[in-house]
């Protein structure tokens, strides 16, 4: 690599925090909502958002260069496919994720260096408690976090329901299933199927209401509990989306063993996560791994690391199914 190219890449890397900051400004001001009515001048946008027109223009001009908006003659801006996702009324809006990562992540990142040196969660160091404990005390944070991850995860649901071969799976248990999109999608694709959603009691209760609204209560059960204590569910396959990456190896093995305690030989565990690729390759999973480092004890893992976890918990690693989304389905079969 030529020295000038190396320098330009370093400059871009070092100044990338400015990209996130400008994205946060546009998100917090809900510029995308205002532009949903059609192209508007920066003066109109500034008046609607209570902003200084010149300062706002410089931010939007930069973002337009990144494809977030399109700048037209006369300092007029319009939405693009990217900024459509920042509208608060769009399905799977990216608006909550940007807010959570900015308003809490920007602070937590200040502790990244000390976290790396001490082996401690930067968020916990900055805010004084683990994010899951913080959510119990800050309902607004918990609600925003839930909407944030729904926005990131919703495109994955159909992707892995389409990609994975569910042949032989009559009953699927979604462990830590949250809103229940996966189990609902699984059931709606075949009326001979049944399912179960296991999550903490308040979430399970909410899902019971959703089942009744969808008319699925006869084919699905909602079970409340703590997967570190037990997973009292019998099923042909156990699905976990972005659960394993929240926890360290010891904690993951505990969860998987609790799943295995109710398994019969041949039952499957399906882990939907980013899978880290080979060294030196650009990989979104490696970036998300830094996100995990910032907030939790967990991490994104390689195929070998997932195989090792499954083996330690009594499952045989049997492969990975890629999907049309950023996640893959890692499969383990209970050895019995």
Interatomic CA distance for residues 232 and 256, integer angstroms: 13
Q: Is 242 a catalytic residue?
A: no
Handedness of CA 138, 242, 262, 205 (dihedral sign): positive
Catalytic option among 153, 179, 242, 245: 245
**C-alpha distance from residue 24 to each of 34, 38, 40, 102, 197 (Å):** 16, 21, 20, 6, 35
Coil/strand/helix, residue 162: helix
Q: Phi/psi zone of residue 50: left (φ > 0), alpha (ψ -120 to 50 degrees), beta? A: left
Terminal Cα-to-Cα distance of the chain (whole angstroms): 53
- The alpha helices in the chain, defined as continuous H runs, are 3-14, 16-28, 31-35, 42-49, 53-65, 81-84, 95-103, 105-108, 112-118, 122-127, 131-137, 139-163, 181-188, 201-214, 249-260, 284-295, 303-312
Of 287, 286, 289, 285, which Cα lies nearest the Cα of 274? 285
Write phi, then psi, for 195 (nearest 5 degrees): -155, 175
Residues with catalytic function: 245
């Amino acid at each position: 690599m030529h020295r000038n190219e190396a320098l330009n890449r370093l400059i871009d890397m070092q100044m990338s925090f400015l990209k996130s900051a400008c994205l946060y400004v546009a998100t917090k001001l809900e510029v995308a909502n205002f532009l949903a009515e059609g192209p508007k001048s920066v003066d109109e946008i500034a008046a609607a958002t209570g902003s200084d027109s010149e300062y706002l223009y410089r931010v939007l001009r930069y973002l337009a260069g990144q494809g977030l908006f399109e700048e037209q003659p006369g300092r007029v801006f319009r939405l693009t496919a990217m900024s459509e996702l920042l509208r608060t009324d769009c399905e799977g809006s990216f608006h909550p994720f940007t807010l959570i990562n900015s308003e809490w992540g920007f602070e937590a990142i200040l502790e990244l260096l000390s976290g790396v040196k001490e082996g401690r969660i930067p968020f916990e160091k900055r805010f004084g408690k683990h994010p899951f404990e913080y959510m119990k005390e800050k309902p607004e944070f918990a609600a925003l976090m839930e909407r944030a991850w729904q926005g990131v995860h919703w495109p994955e649901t159909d992707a892995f329901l389409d990609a994975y071969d569910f042949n032989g799976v009559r009953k699927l248990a979604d462990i830590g299933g949250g809103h229940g999109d996966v189990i609902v999608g699984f059931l709606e694709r075949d009326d001979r199927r049944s399912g179960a959603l296991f999550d903490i009691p308040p979430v399970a209760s909410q899902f019971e209401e959703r089942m009744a609204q969808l008319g699925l209560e006869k084919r699905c059960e909602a079970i409340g509990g703590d997967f570190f204590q037990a997973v009292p569910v019998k099923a042909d396959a156990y699905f976990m989306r972005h659960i394993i990456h929240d926890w360290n190896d010891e904690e993951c093995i505990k969860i998987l063993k609790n799943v295995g305690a109710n398994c019969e030989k041949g039952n499957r565990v399906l882990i939907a996560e980013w899978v880290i690729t080979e060294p030196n390759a650009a990989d979104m999973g490696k970036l998300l791994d830094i996100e995990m480092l910032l907030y939790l004890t967990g991490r994104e893992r390689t195929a070998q690391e997932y195989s090792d976890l499954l083996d330690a918990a009594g499952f045989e690693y049997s492969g990975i199914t890629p999907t049309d989304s950023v996640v893959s389905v890692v499969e383990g079969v209970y050895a019995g």
